[in-house]
Amino acid sequence: MIFTDSVPVTGVRRTEDGYLVAEARVARTGIQDYLGTEIDPDNEHGLRDKPIVRVYRPESAVFHADAMHSYAYRPMTNGHPGGDGVNSKNWKDVAIGQTGGEVVRDGQFVKVPLVLMDAKAIADYESGKRELSMGYGAEVVFQDGVTGDGEQYDCYLGPMKMNHLSLEHRARGGIDLRIGDHNPNTPKGGHDMADALRKLLVDGISIDVTEQGAQAIEKLSTKLADAATATKNLTDAHATAIALKDGELAQKDAEIDALKGKQLSDADIDKRVTARADLISKAKSIADADYTGKTDAEIRKAVVIAKLGDAAVTGKADAYIDARFEILVEDAAKDPVRQHFQAQDGKQKNPNDNGQSAYEARLNDAWKGETK
């Protein structure tokens, strides 16, 4: 967890190359106030909804040997970078200077030399942005108690490990020393309350909050906005998927209706069987052949070819061939001799017909000769 602290700046000077060099108190013992959401974001210790959590930093946390080493050569930033602080991946983007290596205890403070090397940060400092806030990590021990000075606290810190030092307008720990005028009414080690607050518009309501409170609210507002955007994206994607499914179902329903329209009723089947039998009967009356497996058009064409030859159908449309077939059917219906023999085709032949079959065959041959 990264915490922030605040200290005053003193002994400032400019170098020939434009850098700003100073000595600064960068940490102090005592109690500092945090929001419950900062200290206990998951409410594991029942402090998340508490407006103010008093965090005690004893001497064992501030002046621990490991802590003292960690104050040296820390990168400086113009405002806290957020996240996990400063590291090798973002140092080039956020660093504006650094602390020096001469770390000393100054009463209840830790003092280090520092240098601002970035022109924008130096301009901000000269415009009044003069407080420092330490970014550090530490174990939080959730145990309330009372300091040696009689101040109550809700939890305390273990040894601190510094990450970076940030230039701020208003930082958490307040000021003891400051370049310029000092408000005599400012409490020791802190800011005047009205001076430390900033106005923030939340859901149309203007409220006064600390800088850290404003940062927490803005962070939560960003998360809420991101969550709302993600929810909308999911809702839109779901609606699109449903619309696609509805389209697919509608297409399937249309295909089913089309298949139903193509399905024949029993009456339709009877009509087709009757028509087919009638067509084959007509075809056989003209040219007796096996018409199994042929379509109606193929049967008509085969009959016309059998009767009139290939030349009668070559290059002709189906309508023409159908018309020639109907003419042949009408002509066959007008030939009584042919009708007689066709009627005899279905009768049982008698092998003892005393020459009747031979006689009928001769008559049939004679008829064929006359029709050619």
Whole-angstrom distance, CA of residue 353 vs CA of residue 372: 30
Q: Do 3 and 136 touch, CB atoms closer than 8 A?
A: yes
Tokens coding 84: 């996990």
Q: How far is CA 108 from the centre of its chain?
A: 53
CB 112: neighbour CB atoms within 10 A? 28
Whole-angstrom distance, CA of residue 337 vs CA of residue 339: 5
Q: Which residue has the tokens 């329903």?
A: 253
Give φ, ψ of 117 to 5 degrees: -115, -10
The string of pLDDT tens digits covering residues 183-225 is 444 444 444 434 445 556 666 666 666 655 676 777 777 888 8
Kindly give the confidence (pLDDT) of every residue in the chain, 372 residues in length, as a single tens digit, with 9 standing for 90 and above: 566 555 554 567 889 999 998 888 888 899 888 888 888 888 999 988 888 899 999 999 999 999 999 999 999 999 888 888 999 999 999 999 999 999 999 998 888 899 999 999 999 988 888 888 888 999 999 999 999 999 999 999 999 999 999 888 777 766 653 322 344 444 444 444 344 455 566 666 666 666 556 767 777 778 888 888 989 899 999 999 998 888 888 888 888 877 776 666 778 788 888 988 998 888 888 888 888 889 999 998 998 898 889 988 898 898 998 898 888 888 887 766 555 555 555 445 555 555 666 666 666 666 565 555
Amino acid at 14: R
Whole-angstrom distance, CA of residue 132 vs CA of residue 276: 103
The string of pLDDT tens digits covering residues 273-330 is 898 899 888 888 888 888 888 999 999 899 889 888 998 889 889 899 889 888 888 8
Give φ, ψ of 177 to 5 degrees: -130, 150
Q: Do 114 and 7 touch, CB atoms closer than 8 A?
A: no
* DSSP character at residue 17: T
Amino acid at 325: F
Q: Do 54 and 152 touch, CB atoms closer than 8 A?
A: yes
Q: Do 200 and 209 touch, CB atoms closer than 8 A?
A: yes
**Tally of CA atoms within 13 A in the half-sphere of 268 that contains its CB:** 5
pLDDT of residue 312: 85
Whole-angstrom distance, CA of residue 282 vs CA of residue 332: 9
Whole-angstrom distance, CA of residue 325 vs CA of residue 330: 9
Q: Do 71 and 99 touch, CB atoms closer than 8 A?
A: yes
pLDDT of residue 183: 44
pLDDT of residue 196: 46
Judged on CB neighbours under 10 Å (0-12, 13-18, 19+), 156 is buried
pLDDT of residue 57: 93
pLDDT of residue 212: 59
pLDDT of residue 6: 53
Instruction: Spell out the residues 6+ positions from residue 49 whose beta carbon is closer than 8 angstroms to its own.
Output: 36, 43
pLDDT of residue 349: 52
